[in-house]
Amino acid sequence: MAESLDVILVGAGHNALAAAVHLAAKGWKVGVFEQAPVAGGAVKTGEYTLPGFRHDWAAMNLSLFAGSAFFKRYGAELQGHGLEFVPVSRPFASAFPDGTWLGVSTDMAETLARIEAVSAADAKRWGELVAGFGAEAPHLFGLLGSRMNMYALASFMFKTIRAKGVGGTLDMGRFLLESPRRWLDRTFESPKVRAMLGAWGMHLDFAPDVSGGALFPYLEGMAGQAFGMVLGRGGADTIIRAMVAMIRAKGGVVETGARVARIDHQGGKATGITLADGRRFTATRAVVAGVAPRALPKLTGGTEPGFDRAMTEYAHAPGTMMIHIAASDLPDWAAGGALRDFAYVHLAPSLDQMARTYQQAQAGLLPDEPILVVGQPTGQDPTRAPAGKHVIWLQVRMAPGTIRGDAKGEIAAPDWTAAAEPFAERALDILERYAPGFRSKILARRIVTPAELEAENPNLVGGDQVCGSHHLSQNFLFRPVRSHADGSTPIRNLFLTGAAVWPGAGTGAGSGFLLAQKLAGK
């Protein structure tokens, strides 16, 4: 006989867990079933190199979670279940081939001094942007945190026009449509300032010339200046462990190693799930699938042809390779020792290189000079490694999910099994140029290819860590598809959540919390 629950969540990513926390807090009987050995999806931490070295598998930056509406509601309770943050005052920097660097610090004078060294005009403009951020932030964060339906958008537009006027609202609309390059070119004169901010677009599939991407370099720059960055003490999985503990404390079930074979439905209504081991669970109120869109038709056996086709055709971003490094020391940056104090160091020297890298990966080519994000979490949180040692979180962007060739003409490998080592060496060669001698500090390393990312977590299709392109045709009202940005599906009581659903990727738990509020009536 099937066990009965109020809501069943398929997958234990942070959005599904946030939904489960809220519904359990509302008194719902909750069950979460995750096929992986541990909960968290792309937000997990483990000893992937040597004992005592804790590496974040994919996501490291928890700023969005710390600033989220979900954390505002449940932060104190989650902290009671062990959640701990590490505030970072120097969130990000960019190093350049000529031995210079730029970085953003919560110390405004420090940031301005670095920018003024390359452009007095850009330092002045930075100050103006920071001064105006307090007025702009409520509108932008209001949009990103709103429900994505016509009523909510109409309400948002009305409030914005009242506050900014028609002209100001149109200016904001133009900004939301701009590419990173267009906004950066008209805002800053220094190519280095443009590159420092433009690198953030690459995190969300916004190469410099992709429309709709200007928002993210702006927000990351302004938020980094105002708030810094937030890491999880001991690893990003601090949020996962705390949410799982909170769900269980409220009587909910969280099972790992439990693959869902089928979402059961009858008469156009979701009724429960069947696990691969044959166990069945019924859901009296809702089934929530925290899966990539293309997986949903396979789990349901089909809904409506148009919807299922949209799920299957859902577009994913290029992939990412991760290199987890246990090191005897942090990199000795040629640009200066101060770079050791930053959580992220981007090695993305120009907008043109970012655009070329993106085009190469989109064409299925291994980029000749990939973009590197060098995470130095133990500079901020020494609990992640044995005393005096460090972990380096190296994100290699972009990398094709399916290899069709090598832009540099050196790697003939047809797949990731053979390409992993030489492509990782290419990335480490780049790091070595910026931080001579770093190879000698490597104690152990673990290469995680796009293929392995997907094999370990099917939501990361082709190694896409943001679960789908955020280009305008697949964002806002169209994420994941028109009329379903609220996570609804053609099957009653069946909902989709995760990074593929508005408001998209990041650790802010937006789609899960918005859906849970809708289900519970707030």
Tell me the DSSP string of 486-507.
TSB-SSBTEEE-STTSTT-SSS
How confident is the model at residue 156, as a pLDDT?
86
Instruction: Write phi, then psi, for 229 (nearest 5 degrees).
Output: -135, 160
Secondary structure letter of residue 1 according to DSSP: -
- Is the Cβ–Cβ distance between 489 and 496 less than 8 Å? yes
Joined tokens for residue 183: 């906004």
**One-letter amino acid for residue 349 of the chain:** P
241, two tokens: 């462990």
Computed on alpha carbons and rounded to an integer, the radius of gyration of the chain in Å comes to 22
How far apart CA 28 and CA 333 sit, in angstroms, is 52
Q: What is the mean pLDDT of residues 388-412?
A: 97
Residue 223: pLDDT band with limits 50, 70, 90: very high
| Residues 427/392, Cβ–Cβ less than 8 Å | no
DSSP class of 408 = T
Rounded Cα distance between 131 and 470, Å, is: 28
Q: What is the pLDDT, as a whole number, of residue 434?
A: 98
The phi, psi pair for 261, rounded to 5°, reads -85, -30
Listed by start position, the domains of the chain span: 3-49+60-86+235-314+464-520
Q: By C-alpha distance, which of 512, 494, 495 is closest to 503?
A: 512
Q: What is the mean pLDDT of residues 4-18?
A: 98
The tokens describing 496, both together, are 């989709």
Report d(CA 50, CA 182) in Å as an integer.
Answer: 44
pLDDT single digits (tens) 78-104: 999 999 999 999 999 999 999 999 999
The rounded distance, in Å, linking the Cα atoms of 354 and 213 is 13
* Secondary structure of residue 517 in the 3-state scheme: helix
| Class level of CATH domain 3-49+60-86+235-314+464-520 | alpha beta
- Three-state secondary structure string covering 189-209: CCHHHHHHHHHHHHHCCCCCC
Whether the pLDDT of residue 379 is over 90: the answer is: yes
Q: Which of 158, 167, 208 is nearest to 184 (CA)?
A: 208
Burial label, 261 (beta-carbon count in 10 A; 0-12, 13-18, 19+):
middle
Structure tokens at 458: 């099917």
Q: Write down the pTM of the prediction.
A: 0.96
Determine contact, residues 330/376, Cβ cutoff 8 Å: yes
Whether residue 365 contacts residue 341, with contact meaning beta carbons closer than 8 Å, is answered with no
To the nearest whole percent, how much of the chain has pLDDT over 70? 100
pLDDT at residue 147 in the model: 87
Average of pLDDT values for 235-246? 98
Residue 463, classed as helix, strand or coil, is helix
User: Would you state the structure tokens that stand for residue 215, as one six-digit string?
Assistant: 């928002």
Does 316 have pLDDT greater than 80?
yes
Helix or strand or coil: residue 270? strand
When pLDDT is cut at 50, 70 and 90, the band that residue 182 belongs to is very high
**Calpha distance 479→472 (Å, rounded):** 9
Burial of 234 (0-12, 13-18, 19+ CB in 10 A): middle
End-to-end CA distance of the chain: 32
Query: What's the angle, vertex CA 223, arms to CA 220 and CA 227, rounded to 5?
Result: 140
Name the packing angle between helices 180-187 and 215-227 (round to 10°).
60
Segment 321-330, tens digit of pLDDT: 999 999 999 9
pLDDT tens digit string along 435-456?
999 999 999 999 999 999 999 9
**How does residue 1 score in pLDDT terms, banded at 50, 70 and 90?**
low
Contact, 2 vs 31, CB < 8 A?
Answer: no
